[in-house]
Amino acid sequence: MERILVSSCLAGRRVRYDGAAKPVGGELFERWRTEGRLVPFCPEVSGGLAVPRPPAEIIGGDGADVLDGTARILTDAGDDVTVEFLRGARLALDTARRSGARVAVLKEGSPSCGGHRIYDGTFTGTSSPGAGVTTALLQRSGIKVFSEDDLNAVQSFLTTLER
């Protein structure tokens, strides 16, 4: 049975920067939970950041650029939290590998977990195309990453893997 690395906030854990969760409902997600497929993980908390914590955004690119050292992650007060985000991304990859997860469902929009869009670094609520640092690292390592909006695609991918 394939395991799924999942953002802890999507599994109902109150780990987001504002202390909230963003639980995913629906039959597929609940079935995966019941089957024991889900491996909840929060890269930001695991990387050493508190709950709650100041909002943070990628400045100067996206998660791939952070991995390459050409972009940073700053809080809205200007504190550099790049090291914590990178540590969390590496721990997420380690957790995926140890659990055997070849697929992840991560929170869209997050500077860690965003897959298609992240906030643009202006702290104005404006998003731009790009991936978060954890998503970028997982993808570079061969793990297929989906957002919480793509659960049917996740199921199709799982079916392919389990053939």
Global pTM reads 0.97
Instruction: Work out whether the CA dihedral 82, 131, 43, 16 comes out positive or negative.
Output: positive
15-131-136-40 Cα dihedral, nearest 10 degrees: 30
Per-residue pLDDT of the chain (163 residues; tens, 9 = 90+): 999 999 999 999 999 999 999 999 899 999 999 999 999 999 999 999 999 999 999 999 999 999 999 999 999 999 999 999 999 999 999 999 999 999 999 999 999 999 999 999 999 999 999 999 999 999 999 999 999 999 999 999 999 999 9
Interatomic CA distance for residues 7 and 103, integer angstroms: 12
**In the chain, how many domains are there?**
1
- Structural domain including 89 reads 4-161
HEC readout, 17-60: CCCCCCCCCCHHHHHHHHCCCEEEECHHHHCCCCCCCCCEEEEC
